[in-house]
Chain A
Amino acid sequence: MALFAILRDAIDPRALEASVRTDACGAIVTFLGVVRGSTSEGRSIVGLEYEAHEAMALAEFAAIASEVGERHTGVRLGILHRVGALNVGEVSVAVCAAAPHRREAFEACEYAIEALKARAPIWKKEAYADGGDAWIVNKL
């Protein structure tokens, strides 16, 4: 499967892990972002709607992977992000870093998800149980 993708259907983290893994890798770290059922303030969430500028988002994913490659040789990165309507509990994003050793894999995975949240042209609207909704801006 593609290492970078914007998907309308469910994310399969195991398939992404298989795609980033090579025989040089002794460690794979996977981060999954999951739709929460309530806000930090306790407001009940019924679902999320994601949208993306797909071409720019894929270019950003590739740029992030390139930056990771400059920091750590031998790290392979995969990033999948959902768009469309998601229910509570569904995986919205998967970041997978495979590396010779665990330290680089952990660092690469964290770097990639933080960079994605800061830079990728992807937007999220929360729909609340009380009927309201709101576009959520990531805090950096």
Chain B
Amino acid sequence: MTVRVRAFARMRELLDEGAFDLQLPEGATVVDAWEALRARNRKIDALASSTRIARNGRVVALMSERLADGDEIALLPPVGGG
């Protein structure tokens, strides 16, 4: 299946793009998506504890949450708006 990744701020810089598609096996979870992103750049580990992940606009509470084809996964580092 294909999920759309949106990455912001430092996370966008580390992953080189702000929006891209990620191929994952059927039944993949948020953890699997994170591991696939780590394969792109392991430096994102430094942001793992502070970054929230949203699935289709809602912050996920459980990394074991299953993904579906067409989902949007957003990587949200600590915010700085205002």
Contacts and interface: CB of A to CB of B under 8 A. Distances in A.
Pair from one complex: yes
A124 B8 contact: no
B74 interface: yes
A81 B8 CA distance: 16
Contact of A124 (B18, B54, B57, B80): B80
Interface size range of chain A in the complex: 20 to 34
Contacts of A135: 9-10, 77, 80
A117 B82 contact: yes
Contacts, number: 69
A43 to B, nearest CB: 16
B9 A81 contact: no
Interface residues of B, number: 16
Contacts of A127: none
Interface in B29-82: 54, 57, 74, 76-82
A56 to B, nearest CB: 5
B61 to A, nearest CB: 16
A52 B82 CA distance: 11
B16 to A, nearest CB: 15
A122 interface: yes
A62 interface: no
B53 to A, nearest CB: 12
Question: Chain B CB within 10 Å — which of A33, A121, A122 has the most?
Answer: A121
A119 interface: yes
B62 to A, nearest CB: 19
Top 4 A-B residue pairs of the complex, sorted by shortest distance between their CB atoms = A122-B81, A123-B9, A124-B80, A117-B82
